[in-house]
Amino acid sequence: MRPATRLFIKQRFTDYYNKTRISAPSSVREREFGFIFFDERYPDDIWMRRHIGFSSGEEMQDYVRSIVPAHAYYSTAYYQNPHAPTMGDKEWLGADLIFDLDADHIMHGSYEEMLSRIKEEAIKLLDVLDNELGIDMRTIKLVFSGGRGYHVHVQELAMRDFEPAERRELVSYICGIGISPSALLSDWAPGRVGWHERFRVLLTSYLQDLSKKPEKDVKAELSSLRGVGQVMTERFYKMIPELVGLLKTDPSSILFRDQTVKTVFGALASERESRLLPYIRKAAVQVDEPVSTDIRRLIRLPDSLHAKSGFKVVPLEVKELNDFDPLIDAVAFGDREIIIESDREYSFSLLGSRYDIPKGRVKVPEAAGLFLCCRGIGEIGGSDHAS
């Protein structure tokens, strides 16, 4: 990034922070804060200043306005001494349960496609928290990260003291880690929700997809499973239509049909590269496990700006998610025209308009130009960028 581009981004961020009131997180006195700056090393060699504490939201606001950070964070944890220079001296008091949903961990594609895909995961997660885990939705704080994902904060007091192992257990359920076919099928009953029903559906889909393949390919796939020999392969192949029917009517009876079924289902789920894994991932919610299990994590500060997109970190009500469009609702800047220089062709949507950026110099609205500069696609060019 050219120095002029870095200066341009910082100038626009300065204007935003001077005009915007940033809401302090709850229990602000017990939170640690961290910031990444627009120094001469940015964005190639970033450094975070952390172990910062504030006595009030006003003090936090004044600090942000004075330093104009590229990125701003606060701790999911509560501390007796959040400003202490070492973690041991902070005296941990508990932490919110955080689920991080990041499209980078799921797929690659255009920015619009990634935003759409990760929104689907956020909706799935909220449904699981509400209808399967019984979380009080009034304790849920939802935040668009400003980049390619969402943060779901669970602020239930009963969960604040959870250790990493307890948080990992919740994540394992949500992500479908450690699936046991025998347990889920034997305990299935009509009307059962959660993984019992999801596993029945995904196993049905797998067997249906298997039945569409050439016989030799199916037998090769089954015989490659650990502990499944030629005889079992032949028996299981012939049973596939019957098993699909039983999964729709009486899944629990499957395990009593044949030892072959138990062996094959067990092998399918236990393989290091399980044949069921793509189906499980589709049925699960793909959250970032390290974030959820880390009881000292720093997370993006709502209402701050994300210097890799120029977008706002937007706090949302759960009921607002369906209608939320980051490419409109998270855009912080306007349509004043500026000149940027792009090193390649790039197409994207922003504020309801489609932009096809050619290689070279082009005049674009400020919101689009800032997005391109922050993403490393464009550099500020010409005198039109002066504030």
List active site positions: 100, 102, 288
Q: Contact, 154 vs 276, CB < 8 A?
A: no
Nearest to 174 by CA among 135, 143, 117, 230: 135
Pairing relationship of beta strands 298-300 and 337-342 according to DSSP bridges: unpaired
The neighbour count for residue 306, using CB atoms within 10 Å, is 21
For residues 340 and 109, give the distance between their C-alpha atoms in angstroms, rounded to a whole number: 24
**Taking CA 29 as the corner, what is the angle to CA 27 and CA 32, rounded to the nearest 5 degrees?**
100
Query: Exposure of 223 by Cβ count < 10 A (0-12 exposed, 13-18 middle, 19+ buried)?
Result: middle
Task: Give residue for tokens 């096809």.
Answer: 356
The Cα-based distances of 242 to 164, 185, 204, 207, 246 in angstroms read 43, 16, 11, 10, 6
Tokens at 268, concatenated? 């399918």
Q: Contact, 83 vs 51, CB < 8 A?
A: yes
For residues 122 and 127, give the distance between their C-alpha atoms in angstroms, rounded to a whole number: 9
DSSP bridge partners of 363? 339
